Amino acid sequence: MKKSSSLIGGGVFALIGLIMAAVSWNFYKSDKAFMNKSISAIGTVVRWDYMRSTRGETTFYPVIAFETAEGQKIEFRNGVGTTRRKGSYQEGERVKVRYETQNPTNAKIAGFWELWGLTVILGGFGLVFIGAGLKIAFS
C-alpha cells in the first residue's frame, strides 16, 4: 500500500515539474524570439509607477524613456516590478534596454532577470519538482 501511494505522490510531483518545465520552455522560446528581433538602446529611468493589489500590496515599476535608432522617443513601463519603492534603479539612472524594431513600444530593460528571470525560476522549480517526484516515487 505504501509503495503505490509513494508512486502516485511522486508521479504527481513529477507531473507538476514537467508542466513547469514545459511552461519555462515556452517562455524561453518567447524570450529568445524577442532577443532575435530586438536591438539595444540606452534609456533613462524617468519615474516609478505603482499598482496596488486587491490585498493592498504595492508593486513599483520603473518607467524608462529612450530614443530608437530612427529618433522616435519611446517611454515604457518595465514588466518586472519590485515591492521596494526604489528597487534596483534610481530615477535619472541610465539603463540598457532592448526593443523590437518593428514595435518599439515592446521594450524591456536588458537585465538578466528582466529578460530571463521567469524562464530560469520556472525551469529551476520544474527540475526540483521532477527530481523530488522521482525520488519519492522510487524510494
What's the confidence (pLDDT) of residue 2? 64
Residue 43 exposed, middle or buried by CB count within 10 Å (0-12, 13-18, 19+): buried
92 vs 110: CA distance, rounded Å:
17
43 vs 110: CA distance, rounded Å:
10
Asked whether residue 1 carries a pLDDT value surpassing 70, the answer given is no
pTM for the model: 0.79
* pLDDT tens-digit readout, 42-94: 999 999 998 888 888 888 999 999 999 999 999 999 988 888 766 778 999 99
The type of residue at 116 is W
* pLDDT tens-digit readout, 102-126: 999 999 999 898 899 999 999 999 9
